[in-house]
Amino acid sequence: MATVDLDDVRKRFGSTEVIHGVSTAIEDGEFIVIVGPSGCGKSTLLRMVAGLESVSQGEIRIDGKRVNEVEPMDRDIAMVFQNYALYPHMSVRQNMGYGLKIAGLPKNAIEEKVQDAARLLQLDQLLDRRPKQLSGGQRQRVAMGRAIVREPSVFLFDEPLSNLDAKLRVQMRVEIKELQAKLGITSLYVTHDQVEAMTMADRMIVMNAGIAEQIGSPLDVYERPDTLFAAQFIGSPSMNILPATLASNSLRIGSIELGKRGLPDGTVHLGIRPEHVVIASDGPLSLTVHLAEPLGANTLLHGKLDESGETFTAAISGVYRVNGPGETIRLAVDDAHVHLFDSDTGRRIV
């Protein structure tokens, strides 16, 4: 068990910098999810913590000790890879015990630890199978088991669920989270899936283009996104962003006044989550619906706002039957759920 500190960590490949200084302090036992679109540098950041990539600048500390120059095996970490990276010619038992065998543990101690981990992961019946004789979910468990038996102080997960089908992903998500809570081991988890990030994280790091846009608890990020990117990346369907103006303390989209704000005049980006609008006959916004997606629990209405011609998505709770495309509905917005972002920097305006 350990803390992990990232201090202005940067990564350069040749002259291109791909990670532009990430700093955060991860507490003992915390589950941190690094989330972002592909190519944002999240995997690179994780691999730097693992020691598989060198650190170009800055410092990584595990339990207060600088590990920049330490080999992966000496960092007291365990990693679960996207493709599981199980050794194909070894049985499940050998796969899980390989790290311990190299560490020079006696055979019976290895067997005991492997048995314990196998019981924990319900793999006890499969110990003599080869990886190719296992299903995707079972392979995933073996990869987890290989990490657990080493009793590391930090778990690193590199998109471990992306090769599983949707149903299994939900199940494994719960299992990983429960396991981590039970073992209390500090974990860093990389994913591009914002649902995984929301459901698993104690805190999440939202990354974009090598920058940590926001670090905070899932609900913090959801309720008070720091940047336009974080606002749009977290939440599904993603937040509607509309150009708006502030003039004499009045917030307007086109000619419609949405509320009062004590802010200087100018143009801003206004964000409204689809789930924060309701149908109201006297609502200020009028939406021409082009497509309705009934999901059962709610209905997604995609269309254009009549006032500004912007595309807009509304999530109406329950079943809503549209009277053919082109129907116009009026929407009301809860003022408490309106987010404003600077139109130049994309940062949140308080």
Partner 1 sequence: MAIAADAQRVRKEPAPGMVEKRGRNLWLTHALMILGVLVVFFPIWLAFVASTVTQQEIARAPMPLLPGDRFFENYARALFAGVNVPVATMLLNSLVMAVGIAVGKIVISLLSAFAIVYFRFPGRSVFFWLIFLTLMLPVEVRIVPTFEVVAGFGMLNSYSGLIFPLIASATATFLFRQFFLTVPDELAEAARVDGARPMRFFIDILLPMSRTNIAALFVILFIYGWNQYLWPLLITTDPEMNTIVMGIKQMFPSGDDVADWPVIMATSILAMIPPVIVVISMQKLFIRGLVDSEK
Q: Which residues bind partner 1 (CB under 8 A)?
A: 50-52, 71-73, 77-79, 81-83, 85-89, 98-99, 102-103, 130-132, 146, 150
Closest among 208, 245, 226, 212 to 347, alpha carbons compared: 226
The token pair at 137 is: 């979910």
Q: CA-to-CA distance for 318 and 154, rounded, in angstroms?
A: 43
Of 102 and 166, the one with the shorter C-beta distance to partner 1 is: 102
CB of 25 to partner 1, least distance (A): 23
Of 52 and 338, the one with the shorter C-beta distance to partner 1 is: 52
Of 86 and 205, the one with the shorter C-beta distance to partner 1 is: 86
Q: CA-to-CA distance for 226 and 341, rounded, in angstroms?
A: 8
CB of 209 to partner 1, least distance (A): 24
Q: Which positions ≥6 away from 26 have C-beta within 8 Å? A: 3, 4, 5, 6, 32, 186, 188, 203
Of 138 and 227, the one with the shorter C-beta distance to partner 1 is: 138
CB of 83 to partner 1, least distance (A): 5
CB of 125 to partner 1, least distance (A): 20
Of 49 and 123, the one with the shorter C-beta distance to partner 1 is: 49
CB of 180 to partner 1, least distance (A): 18
CB of 195 to partner 1, least distance (A): 24
Q: Which positions ≥6 away from 350 have C-beta within 8 Å? A: none
CB-neighbour burial class of residue 308 (10 A; exposed 0-12, middle 13-18, buried 19+): middle
Of 87 and 247, the one with the shorter C-beta distance to partner 1 is: 87
The token pair at 203 is: 């805190």
DSSP string, 11-47: EEETTEEEEEEEEEEEPTT-EEEEE--TTSSHHHHHH
